[in-house]
Structures are given as C-alpha cells and as structure tokens.
C-alpha cells in the first residue's frame, strides 16, 4: 500500500506542487463568492413611486415636472427617519386638464399636512412605477416590480438560493465521496455556468428563483470539493492553513465582485459577467488532480504513485522506494467498495453486530401475514390517515373563488343593500370570461368613481350594453377586492389576495409543498435507516402536528409556504415509514397486498378530508382540524413495534426475538429454538447508488421508462385531485367520490396483476386514464347542455380511478424490474420523480387560464404516452426476479418460463427456483427457505 503521509515527509507538508495545485483549485472558487453575494446588486432597492403618464400628455402648464409630481402623488413620512417622501404605492386620480391648470410651485408637504387633499381619490400604481436609475440601471427589484404588495418576494429569492446551497451541500458532498472530488468540482462549475447564464435570461421572477436555486446548489459542488482537496493534499500540520486559504480566496472574490458591480449597473449583464468565467475554468480540468487520499480509499494506488512522483519532480526531492512498496493484501485492505452516505457521520457501533435470528424462516411458522402482523400494521395504517389531509390540503386551503375590485366609495354613498349590484355595474367594467365566454365583472380593474357620483346614480344601470362604449379611465383595485364567500368563508387565496399579478403564487404554494415532500422522502428515508422506522414515524407525526398548527396561524404568505414545506417533509416521514414497516413485517408472497394497503388508507383519509372540508369552511379552522388529530395518534407509541428486520440489521437480536415470540403467541404457533438462534444468510454487503440504475443500456432504458411513469402518475393523480373544483356539480361530493373510486381501483389492480400481468395491467389503466382525461372536459358546459354535466364528472372519476391503479402498479414495476442489488435504489429514484411530478402538477392546472380543457389534455396525453412506453418492458409475472446487476441487464432478453400459483401447488415448492438464463437448482434450508444461492446443473 502507498504510504501517502510517509511521502509527505519527503515532499513537504505543503510543498511547491501542492501549492500550485491548491492555488489553481482556489481560483476556481472565485465565482462562488460572486454568486453567493450577488443579490446585493441583483435585487438592489432604489427609490420609486407611481408612474403618472398624464404628465407627459398634459399641456404647457406641466413644464415644472416636480410640481406636477407633487400634485399627482401623495407625500408620506418614512417610519424610521420621519422624513417626507413621495408615496411609493399610491397616486391621486388626476387628469390632463387638472395638470394643465395646476398652479406651480406647489408645496405638497404643507398641503398634505393641512389636509388639502382630504377626500381626493387615490389609486394604486395602475400605470406602473417610476424608479430612480441614477445608481443602478436595472435590477430584479425594478424589472419584476418587487414593490408594494410584492415586496416580500425580494427576500424570498435569496432564501430559496440558500435552500439550493443546503441541498447542494448534502447531495454533492455525498457524490464527491462516490465519484471523486475532481469530477464533482467540474460538474459543479458546469452547472454554475449553465444555470448562471439561464438566470441572466430569466423572463420572470419564478424562473429567476428556480435557476438561482440551481446556482446555489452548484456553489456547494464547487466550494466543498476544493476545500476537501486542499485539506487532503497536505500534511496534518498544515490543514488549518490550507482550510484558511480558501476562505481568503472567498474574501478576494468578494472584493472583485464590488469592482464588477461598480462598472456594470445592469443586472442581466452583471449576472452574465459573474457566470461566463466558468467557461474558461472548465479548461482547467487537465491541470487539476484527483485527491490522492480518495484514490487510495478506492484502491487506485497506481494513480497515486504517478501523482507522488510528479510532485517529487516539481518539489525537487527524491523519494525512497519504501514509500511505494506495498503488497496485495495491504492494497485489498485499503480498498473500500462500500458507498457511504451522510448518515454514516453518526452511525453507531451496533452496526457491526451479526444477526443471529432468521426472520424469513420464522415467518414459515408465524405466517407470512398472520393475525399479529395484521393488528400491528392496521395500527400503523391508522397513523397515516392524516397524511392525505395535508397532501391534498390545498384543494380547500387555497380554494379560488370569484372576485373583482372592491368599491369603497359605495359606503360613503350610503346606497341601499339591494342597490349594490347597480353600484358595481357603474363602477366596474365587464368582460368575457376565458372559460365559457360569458360576461362577468373585470377582476383586476375598475373605473375611477367618486362617492358623489355613486350617491346620485340612477338605478338600475345597464352596464353590459354601456361597457362596450364606456371610455372612462380605469385603475387597479386600490380599494382591495370583493370575494364570493357563498361557498368558502375564507382561504389563503382571499386572505393573502393571491389574485391578478399574484395569481401564480397560489400554484407555487402547492409546488413548494411537494418539494418538501421530496426533501422529506430523502431525509426521513435516510433517518429511518439510522434510528429506526418507529422513531422516524413518530418524529414525523410530531413535526406534522407542530408545524401543521403553525400553518393555521401564518400571518402572511411566505410563512404559510415555509411551514407547509416542513409539513410536506413530515408527511413523507410518516407515509414512507409506515409503508416500510408493512413490507418488512410480512413475507414476499403478501407484499403486493401489504404494499397496496397504505394506498387504501390514503383513500380513506381522502374521503374523510372531503367531509371535514364540507363542515369547516374557514381555512385556518380547517388547517387546525387537519393537524390536531396527530395529538391522539402520538399516544399510539406503545402499540407500534419496531421493524424486526431493521432490529436485526442493527444487531439487536434480542428485541427482534421478543417480537417474534409475541407474534407466535398471538398467532397461536410455536417457533423452534433453532430458528431463533440461526444466523441468517448475508449474500452481498456491497452498497449501490442511483448511478447503477443507468450504468448499463437495458437497465437504463427500463429505469427511464419507470421514472417517467412515476412522474406522470403523480402529476396526473394530484392534478385531477387538486382540479376537482373545475368539474361540474358539488365540489365536496366530487372530492369525496374522487377518493372513493380509488379503493375499488386498488382492489381491481391487485386482482388483475396476477391474472393478466403487470405490463398489460399498467398499460390498460394508463391509456384508460388518458382517454378519460381527454374526453371529460368536452362533456361539460359550454360544450354540452348543463343536464349532461354528470357525464363529465363520471368520466373524470374513471380517469382518477385508473391513474390511482397505475400509481399502485408502478411501485411493483420498479421493484420487480430492478435486480435485488439496486431494488430499493430503483424504487427510491422512482419516488423522487413522483415528487417532481407533484411539483409540476399545480402549474399544469394553471394552464386552464389559457384554455379550460388544456390541463386535462396535457394529463391525458402524458398518460397515454406512459402506458404505451411500458409495452417494451419485460413481463415480471411468474418470472424469477434478477439478483445481480448482470442478471438485471439480461432480464427479459430471453423468454423465461412463468410460474403461476397453480403450478406451485401442483409441482411443489422444490420446483420454484429458476435462474436467469440457464436453469439452476436452489439450495433450500431445513425450514423451506432458499439461501439466495444457485448451483448450475
């Protein structure tokens, strides 16, 4: 084995070669500081006020621009300094004529203080804003109008960037231990280049935030490998200094950023300048070396020898041969084939203990799915009932209703309540709706009216005919909005005014929630492997309770979104832990059914949520009703057991043994002592990663198709669930039926899977769902008469039932198509794509603003493509599932004999074992279980 530390005694703790390499890598981190601190200039705040286009059109009386502004915009005192300034978000209703006759100079401050403008009409900045560009030519603050009602979005952009940095540190930190420091460093530079340039061309605020989050992740991918390379290149005595150098380089980048910003005042040009240097840095790939210590950990000693010899040449030293001497046994000891994760940072010594209880053999006596397992699993499933409350919560928390501008002047006019419609007809323009072409009040603008006009208005007022010829000026909804509360007393849509220019924020809230579900699937999945399924389950329940309650008291939109993100993560912790407990408690022959039960539990919770929302129409009270049941569920702790398989994997054999003995007692059977003392066979200790899913062509194709179907079923499932309100009829009844149809769908899919096979079953359900989605909107008004609307609802429910069945099947497809070595990784990767589909789904639903049937057409088309694509996958019904990567690559390439239940009963268990390719004989232990090995005949 190469002694790298011994070599450093000759090369120098921080010799010339190490300094050259580390200096080069540190230079590559300069853009990290630029992107990390760029928001100081990208979203630079400047003075602003309403734009007053009437000034440009007025006559000679407006030559004094300042005078015209004073007359057109109110003055207000700053809260901090008490200094007077032009109001940023309001303006007076002025005309060209009034500006022409304005007397200048006009002392606006004194006139405001004396009440000169009392009673004057003010409006919001319906003609945009004026920004002070004396210091910054542009920024996202000025280009995306992040002012007034949108001012909080400025801080949100930087918060999402830091979320990207956090995720990048976790993901790329682990990848650098798998693929090497050098590869991840340059992958990070490439990502930083691509998405950094994409930021510069962002057409809107949402894409700006998304692209910046990717840039944030890439900065972790660049900075962390550079830091690690530096500390791994030098001797222990110099690691403190090496670690400090990269921070000094960060400070130097900080200084350079100031100079760049000084000369470049346009934010898009500025963003390009701090991104494009990465294109040059990519050419440094041949000059940067891989960390010798990482190479040694992977057994790549020859590469380390070459690096050491080159370093010796540059440093002008000669190394003794003893440094390079190593024997084969030492080399094998140094090589580490395992893949580690962040969980290994806190892993306990109990992992080293050997399992001495054969759980699979024990199941032959207590039953694959006996009474004890059923009772335990039903308790766990009951804990999942609150998951659909939150998962589908936005259907009612974010409920959209009809709205238009409020007319506060009507209160001063003191009109009778039955004359409200007359006042609205006079005050608000009419327009044709995009959905059905019917006439309605314009939602985001109103006429400039006075209380005097409304007080003398003759009613009734025929607005529909007059609108076509009405030339009165309009303005934004400066007096707030009126919402239709006949169905919902409140929702975040109404309370946070997520309308007009903020309308996309409603969909964004659900997407961020689904991002939380994705993060939770990763985080809690790892945590459950570390501390156990039971603890993770109840920690998630506690988080769901605490942050679910906090959501109900959110004072504004950003707090609501962040708290919902955490709730989404906790939902993953509950549902996944429960799913794993169920599959680990039972034998292989019952895992299809136990894997279906959590989905049925979800459907039951789905229906309960419909009833809950029907009875509670206020969003804050509804959110509390969704969260508080977890208090009761927490008391189920004594009745839930830890997974025996997880206990055995941690060497806690005695606890697993006690669970088995209790199960035997409840199931009224006896387990032989030798089974409880037998060491279970362990076949493969090597750990695999997601890279192995796409390493070979056949596995790559199968997993791409599976991941696409995961994404589509999730996207369509949540799209149909969250779009129930667009269907004709009672929304609560439709929502209830939408959950109810899932239960027979799951039963039907479970029954058909072992009759016609996985592929035909999935293809049929996906195509059925797609056709139903495409046809359903055309069976509703305005395409058909109102009395035929139930046909549309019926077809939509058929589509929902079919996609639910597809959701159940895709779990099984991913598990059976991947070999045992990467089966969990395959299901995990598919689950991540499902969460991605959930993130995209709300934005697909948002396309109904363009054309009402469009979301259904998108869902239908994607479903049909998914169903057709799986036709090329091999059928797994009755097939011996692959164990190794080689078997997985060859799986389905040759025709295999299928095994059915009738064959097993007829021929006996000894004939069940088949090998991929050639026939094989299974080694069966005395208890009827195979040890996982095969011997060629």
> Which pLDDT tens digit goes with each residue over 21-56?
888 888 998 999 899 889 889 888 888 888 887 776
Q: Give pLDDT, residue 215.
A: 93
For residue 332, the model assigns a pLDDT of 45
Please say whether the beta carbons of 50 and 129 come within 8 A: yes
Q: Name the percent of the chain in helix, strand, coil, to the closest 5.
A: 65, 5, 30
Give the pLDDT confidence of 786-809 residue by residue, as tens digits. 777 788 888 889 998 999 999 888
Q: SS3 of 303, please?
A: helix
State which H helix or E strand residue 874 sits in: none
Which residues, given as ranges, of the chain have pLDDT below 50?
A: 59-62, 113-119, 327-337, 339, 342-343, 345-355, 681-685, 895-937
Q: How far apart are CA 327 and CA 321, in angstroms?
A: 13
CA distance linking residue 227 with residue 133, whole number of Å: 40
- Residue 663, SS3? helix
* Nearest Cα residue to 568 out of 619, 517, 640: 517
Cis peptide before 742 (omega within 30 of 0): no
Q: Confirm whether pTM is higher than 0.85.
A: no
CATH topology of domain 371-402+484-637: Growth Hormone; Chain: A; (1.20.1250)
Ordered by start, the domain boundaries in the chain are: 4-45+156-298, 48-131, 371-402+484-637, 415-482, 692-890
Which 3 state secondary structure label does DSSP give 777? helix
State both tokens at 654: 């005695």
State yes or no: cis peptide before 105, omega within 30 of 0.
yes
Confidence at residue 910, expressed as pLDDT on a 0 to 100 scale: 41
pLDDT of residue 356: 59
Fold of 692-890: Growth Hormone; Chain: A; (1.20.1250)
Nearest C-alpha neighbor of 123 from the set 431, 496, 474: 474
Q: Domain spanning 4-45+156-298: which CATH class is it, in words?
A: mainly alpha
Cβ distance 574 to 544 under 8 Å? Answer: yes
């Amino acid at each position: 084995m190469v002694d790298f530390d011994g070599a450093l005694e000759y090369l120098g703790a921080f010799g010339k070669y190490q300094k050259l390499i580390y200096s080069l890598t540190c230079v590559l981190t300069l853009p990290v500081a630029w992107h990390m601190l760029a928001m100081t200039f990208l979203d630079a705040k400047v003075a602003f006020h309403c734009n007053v286009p009437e000034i440009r059109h007025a006559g000679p009386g407006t030559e004094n621009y300042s005078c015209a502004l004073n007359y057109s915009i109110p003055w207000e005192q700053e809260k901090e300094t008490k200094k007077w300034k032009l109001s940023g978000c309001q303006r007076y209703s002025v005309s060209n004529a009034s500006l022409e006759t304005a007397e200048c100079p006009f002392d606006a401050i004194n006139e405001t203080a004396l009440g000169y403008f009392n009673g004057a009409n003010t409006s919001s900045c319906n003609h945009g804003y004026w920004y002070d560009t004396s210091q910054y030519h542009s920024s996202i603050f000025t280009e995306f109008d992040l002012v007034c009602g949108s001012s909080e979005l400025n801080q949100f952009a930087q918060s999402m960037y830091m979320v990207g940095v956090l995720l990048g540190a976790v993901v790329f930190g682990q990848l650098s231990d798998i693929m090497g420091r050098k590869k991840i460093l340059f992958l990070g530079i490439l990502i930083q280049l691509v998405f950094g340039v994409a930021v510069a061309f962002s057409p809107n605020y949402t894409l700006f935030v998304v692209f910046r989050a990717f840039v944030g992740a890439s900065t972790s991918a660049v900075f962390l490998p550079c830091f690690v390379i530096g500390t791994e290149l030098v001797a222990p005595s110099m690691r403190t200094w090496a670690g400090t150098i990269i921070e000094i380089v960060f400070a130097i980048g900080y200084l350079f950023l100031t100079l760049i910003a000084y000369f470049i005042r346009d934010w898009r040009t500025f963003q390009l300048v701090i991104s494009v240097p990465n294109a040059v840095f990519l050419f440094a790939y041949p000059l940067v070396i891989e960390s010798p210590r990482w190479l040694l950990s992977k057994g790549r000693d020859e590469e380390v020898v070459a690096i050491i010899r080159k370093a010796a040449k540059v440093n002008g030293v000669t190394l003794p041969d003893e440094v390079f001497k190593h024997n084969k046994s030492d080399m094998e000891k140094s090589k580490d084939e395992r893949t580690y994760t962040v969980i290994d940072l806190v892993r306990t010594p109990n992992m080293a203990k050997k399992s001495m209880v054969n759980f699979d053999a024990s199941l032959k006596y207590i039953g694959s799915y006996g009474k004890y397992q059923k009772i335990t699993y039903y308790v766990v499933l009951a804990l999942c009932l609150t998951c659909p409350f939150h998962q589908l919560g936005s259907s009612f928390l974010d409920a959209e209703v009809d709205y238009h501008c409020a007319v506060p002047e009507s209160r001063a006019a003191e009109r009778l309540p039955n004359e409200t419609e007359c006042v609205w007809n006079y005050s608000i323009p009419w327009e044709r709706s995009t959905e059905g072409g019917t006439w309605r009040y314009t939602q985001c603008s109103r006429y400039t009216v006075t209380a005097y006009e409304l007080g003398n208005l003759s009613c009734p007022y025929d607005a529909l005919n007059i609108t076509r010829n009405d030339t009165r000026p309009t303005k934004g909804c400066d007096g707030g909005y009126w919402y239709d509360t006949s169905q919902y007393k409140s929702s975040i849509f109404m309370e946070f005014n997520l309308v007009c220019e903020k309308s996309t924020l409603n969909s964004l809230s659900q997407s961020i929630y689904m991002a939380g579900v994705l993060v939770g699937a990763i985080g809690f999945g790892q945590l459950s492997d570390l501390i156990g399924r039971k603890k993770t389950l109840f920690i998630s329940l506690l988080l769901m309770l605490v942050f679910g309650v906090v959501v109900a008291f959110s004072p504004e939109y950003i707090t609501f979104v962040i708290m919902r993100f955490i709730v989404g993560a906790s939902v993953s912790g509950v549902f996944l832990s429960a799913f794993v407990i169920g599959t680990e408690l039972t034998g292989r022959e019952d895992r299809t059914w136990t894997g279906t039960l959590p989905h049925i539990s979800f459907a039951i919770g789905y229906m309960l949520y419909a009833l809950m929302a029907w009875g509670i129409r206020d969003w804050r009270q509804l959110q509390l009703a969704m969260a508080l049941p977890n208090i009761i569920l927490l008391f189920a702790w004594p009745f839930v057991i830890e997974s025996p398989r997880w206990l055995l994997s941690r060497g806690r054999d005695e606890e697993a043994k006690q669970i088995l003995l209790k199960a035997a007692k409840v199931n009224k059977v006896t387990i032989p002592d030798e089974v409880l003392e037998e060491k279970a066979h362990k076949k493969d200790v090597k750990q695999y990663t997601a890279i192995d899913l796409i390493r070979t062509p056949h596995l790559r194709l199968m997993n791409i198709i599976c991941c696409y179907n995961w994404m589509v079923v999730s996207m369509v499932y949540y799209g149909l669930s969250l779009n129930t309100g667009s269907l004709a009829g009672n929304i609560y009844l439709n929502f209830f039926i939408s959950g109810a149809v899932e239960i027979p769908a799951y039963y039907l899919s479970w029954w058909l899977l072992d009759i016609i096979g996985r592929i035909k079953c999935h293809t049929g359900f996906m195509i059925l769902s797609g056709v139903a989605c495409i046809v359903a909107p055309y069976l509703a008004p305005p395409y058909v008469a109102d009395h035929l609307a139930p046909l549309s609802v019926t077809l939509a429910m058929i589509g929902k039932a079919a996609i639910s069945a597809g959701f159940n099947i895709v779990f099984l497809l991913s598990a059976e198509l991947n070999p045992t070595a990467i089966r969990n990784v395959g299901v995990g990767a598919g689950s991540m794509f499902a969460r991605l589909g959930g993130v995209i789904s709300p934005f697909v639903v948002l396309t109904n603003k363009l054309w009402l049937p469009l979301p259904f057409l998108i869902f239908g088309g994607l479903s049909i493509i998914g169903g057709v694509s799986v036709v090329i996958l091999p059928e797994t019904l009755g097939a011996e599932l692959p164990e190794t990567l080689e078997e997985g690559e060859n799986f389905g390439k040759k025709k295999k004999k299928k095994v059915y239940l009738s064959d097993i009963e007829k021929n006996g268990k000894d004939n069940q074992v088949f090998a991929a390719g050639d026939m094989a004989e299974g080694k069966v232990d005395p208890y009827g279980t195979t040890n996982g090995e095969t011997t060629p005949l």
